[in-house]
Structure 1
Amino acid sequence: MKKTTPNSVFSFSRIYCSLFGHNYLLSKNVTHHIKEYTCSHCGEQATTNSRGQLEIMTPKLKEINNALAFVHAKKMAKTNIDTSFQAAS
């Protein structure tokens, strides 16, 4: 008897991507140098790693990117508040 898994669903978009490659589009800016991408055909997600190369998104990477986005947004908000109240010299 052949076992099937939920990930073994037949899809033309997955075949297209396996033959011609993914067509990644920017889906989220995490920081200035880390971004998340989504394939326009099959929906696969990827992110940039520490070396600037694309890496397939895993739950661990998703959690790391969410934490980085939170810290980055907090830092940018603090920087904007600090620069708006500087006295002119």
Structure 2
Amino acid sequence: MKTTKNVAAPLQLYCYLFGHNYKVTKNVTSYVKEYTCGCCKKQLTTNSNGDLTELTPKFKEINSILEEMYSRRLERSGAHVFNASAY
């Protein structure tokens, strides 16, 4: 019989007790960002209201399309090109 250890359980307990330690992992636009917890690796993004929402495959797709549109708009306007993946 195989036994598996759940390594994330102590980290999830830490986040439950003390709160998440979110860091910005990607700047999609100047106002939309993706965040990841340093402990439990939970991913969040900002939604249309500016609130944090869990990063689902649907939001990943929305963010990638939004990033493309934003960079194209900046290129057309002649403004400094914002490299969202560099942050």
Regarding TM over 0.5, the answer is yes
1:15 Cα shift? 1.4
Match of 2:49 among 48, 51, 57: 51
1:10 Cα shift? 4.7
RMSD: 1.4
Unaligned stretches of 5+ in structure 1? 1-8, 82-89
Bigger Rg, structure 1 or 2? 1
Q: After TM superposition, what 4+ stretches of structure 1 lie above 6 angstroms from structure 2?
A: none
Larger RCO (alpha carbons 8 Å, 6+ apart): 2
Work out whether 1:38 is the aligned partner of 2:36. yes
1:59 Cα shift? 0.5
Q: Secondary structure at the match of 1:61?
A: helix
**TM-score (norm. length: structure 2):** 0.76
The percent identity for this pair of structures is 45
Unaligned stretches of 5+ in structure 2? 1-5, 80-87
